[in-house]
């Protein structure tokens, strides 16, 4: 399937389609019209048709979408039909919380290593995976295929670590450190900046109060 | 300051300005030109000028921006000049990780309660705050001012909990449950859908491999 030249906006919406189709599957729904899907997802039916047409359609006039088929095809587009070995760098609270998220593994995101700088943590296990020292990381990366590195280190260590990852061939970084990483163009960085998300909330709270005090 | 009719895109960029200005402050930089800020942030200088003009400018021709002043003003726009009491609903791994994030408190996001359904956790403390039972939540909300509720519950419980929150006057929800909440228009929901962020990474890994196998 050819999926180049798809706009970023469409790609951002795909995981949401995937989630809703997964819910429909759980409810044993076999097919759904774009109108019904539209009501469920609070987007217009024409947007749904347009989005899915990017990938060759999937829908049939008068029949709607085959839920199972569409779920599987979107899964393929999202790369969920292969296993992605991941490592976590930073075994603090957030790192351990992510390590304990068993839902990721169900979608093929398989944790294969956890690293930290704190010697107290060495050898402790999270979900059966022993925490190793960050100094052992380059050797580990030579021996083990890793698709995704999760950065849950403090921001002052994150930049240096990103460089080490890039030098060792890592092409995808899930960055939770509150900093922008400078990486080469062929390295994909997906940022989760939690405090910026909180600030968006507080901005909206302020707006709400201003409007209601008037 | 009048901040209505600002586009969502600008608002989304404000926390990033705030972060960079904070870093400049830490480095004792007193003023910066839009050109220098532009190089640092990898956005065009004209975008910076345009964005900040929405709030009345702040910059002076030939002088640049006063870092401390601009940091403070953007902080005000983002509502960071007031304390926002928060509660966490769901004291699992992620809930506890967020509770332990001391950085939030520095910006005025003050944790005042943690709730869970699991009686084993009752009375356990995270950062000095005792975990209470979710059944006590309505009473707690009547007695305590809460600006933000953080939902770190499994998705099958999140919807019901959102209803309880709305009934008890909560206007801002930070939702980590992998589900879209149906809330009234005057309730602000900021979603952090971690698995969708991961899927964006795996999509890009797949694209990268397709292009490099060619």
pLDDT at residue A58 tops 80:
no
Cα dihedral across residues B162, B168, B174, B176: positive or negative: negative
Q: Å from B31 to nearest chain A CA?
A: 21
Return the closest-CA partner of residue B173 out of A190, A200, A17, A19.
A200
**pLDDT tops 90 at residue B20:** yes
Task: Say which residues have a Cβ less than 8 Å from residue B26's Cβ, sequence separation at least 6.
Answer: none
Contact B95, B152 (CB under 8 A): yes
pLDDT score, position A213:
73
Number of Cβ pairs closer than 8 Å across A and B?
A: 163
pLDDT, residue B1, reads: 45
* pLDDT for A1: 45
Q: Region B191-213: what's the mean pLDDT?
A: 90
CB contact set of B143 (below 8 Å; sequence gap of 6+): none
CA–CA min distance B93, chain A (Å): 5
For residue A112 the two structure tokens come to: 């294969």
Portion of chain B with pLDDT greater than 70, in percent: 94
3-state class (DSSP) for residue B186: coil
Q: Summarize pLDDT for B74-131 with one digit per residue, the tens.
A: 999 999 999 999 999 999 999 999 999 888 998 899 999 999 999 999 989 999 999 9
Hey, is B187 helix, strand or coil?
coil
Looking at the whole model, is its pTM more than 0.95? no
Residues of B in contact with A202 (CB under 8 A): 78-80, 84, 108-109, 147-148
Sign of CA dihedral B60, B64, B68, B72: positive
pLDDT of residue A3 exceeding 60 = no
- Interval A1-19 mean pLDDT: 77
Task: Give the whole-angstrom CA distance, residue A207 versus residue A111.
Answer: 41
Best CA proximity match to B16, nearest among A56, A203, A98: A203
Phi-psi region of B122 (alpha: psi -120 to 50; beta: other; left: phi over 0): beta
Residues of A in contact with B82 (CB under 8 A): 206
| CA angle (A204 as vertex; A201, A207 as ends), nearest 5 | 155
Quote the CA–CA distance of B190 and A197 in Å, as a whole number.
Answer: 7
Tokens of A23: 């819910």
Mean predicted confidence (pLDDT) in A16-38: 93
Residue listed under structure tokens 């968006």: A200
Residue B60: the pLDDT is: 66
Contact A195 B15 (CB under 8 A): yes
CA distance A108 to A48: 26
Percent of chain A with pLDDT over 70: 93
Helix axis angle, B67-77 relative to B8-26, nearest 10°? 140
User: Within 13 Å of residue B151, how many CA atoms lie on the same side as its CB?
Assistant: 30
Interface test with A, best of B94, B127, B203 (most A CBs within 10 A): B203
The arithmetic mean of pLDDT across residues B183-211, rounded, is 92
Task: State mean pLDDT over A26-42.
Answer: 92
Q: What is the SS3 assignment for A84?
A: strand
- pLDDT value for B58: 63
Token pair 């921001």: residue = A155
- The arithmetic mean of pLDDT across residues A47-61, rounded, is 75
Closest Cβ–Cβ partner in B93, B193, B197 for A97:
B93
CB–CB of B77 and A206 under 8 A? Answer: yes
Look-up: residue for tokens 């760098």?
A89
B158-181, pLDDT tens digit by residue?
A: 999 999 999 999 999 999 999 999
Instruction: Nearest by CB to A16, from B100, B196, B202: name it.
Output: B196
Cβ atoms of residues A171 and A186 within 8 Å? yes
CA separation, residue A161 to residues A50, A151, A154, A155, A183 (Å): 41, 8, 10, 10, 11
pLDDT at position B2 is: 47
Q: Which of A200, A207, A208 has the highest number of chain B CBs within 10 A, making it the mutation to test binding with B?
A: A200
Which tens digit of pLDDT belongs to each residue from A95-143? Answer: 999 999 888 998 899 999 999 999 999 989 999 999 999 999 999 999 9
**What is the DSSP track for B138-155?**
HHHHHHS--SEEEE-S-H
Is residue A57 over pLDDT 70? no
Closest chain B residue by Cα to residue A103: B195
| Sheet strands (E) in chain A | 31-32, 65-66, 84-89, 109-116, 125-126, 129-133, 148-151, 172-175, 188-191
The residue ranges of DSSP E strands in A34-193, in sequence order, are: 65-66, 84-89, 109-116, 125-126, 129-133, 148-151, 172-175, 188-191
pLDDT value at residue A60: 66
d(CA B65, CA B57): 9
3 state SS of A152: coil
> Interface pTM (ipTM) of the complex?
0.88
Tokens of B55: 């709030």
Band (B59; pLDDT cuts 50, 70, 90): low
Nearest to A71, CA basis, from A11, A16, A122, A133: A16
């Amino acid at each position: 399937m050819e999926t180049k030249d798809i706009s970023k906006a469409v790609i951002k919406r795909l995981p949401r389609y995937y989630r809703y189709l997964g819910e429909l599957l759980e409810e044993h729904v076999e097919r759904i019209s774009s109108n019904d899907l539209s009501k469920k997802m609070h987007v217009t039916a024409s947007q749904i048709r347009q989005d899915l047409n990017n990938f060759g359609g999937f829908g049939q006039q008068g029949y709607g979408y085959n839920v199972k088929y569409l779920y599987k095809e979107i899964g393929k587009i999202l790369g969920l039909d292969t296993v992605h070995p991941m490592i976590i760098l930073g075994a603090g609270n957030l790192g351990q919380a992510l390590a304990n998220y068993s839902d990721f593994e169900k979608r093929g995101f398989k944790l294969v290593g956890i690293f930290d700088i704190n010697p107290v943590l060495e050898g402790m296990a999270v979900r059966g995976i022993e925490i190793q020292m960050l100094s052992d990381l380059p050797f580990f990366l030579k021996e083990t295929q890793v698709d995704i590195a999760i950065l849950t280190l403090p921001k002052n260590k994150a930049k240096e670590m990103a460089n080490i990852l890039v030098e060792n061939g890592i092409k995808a970084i899930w960055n939770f450190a509150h900093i922008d990483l400078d990486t080469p163009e062929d390295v994909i960085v997906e940022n989760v900046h939690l405090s910026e998300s909180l600030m968006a909330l507080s901005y909206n709270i302020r707006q709400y109060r201003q409007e209601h005090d008037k």
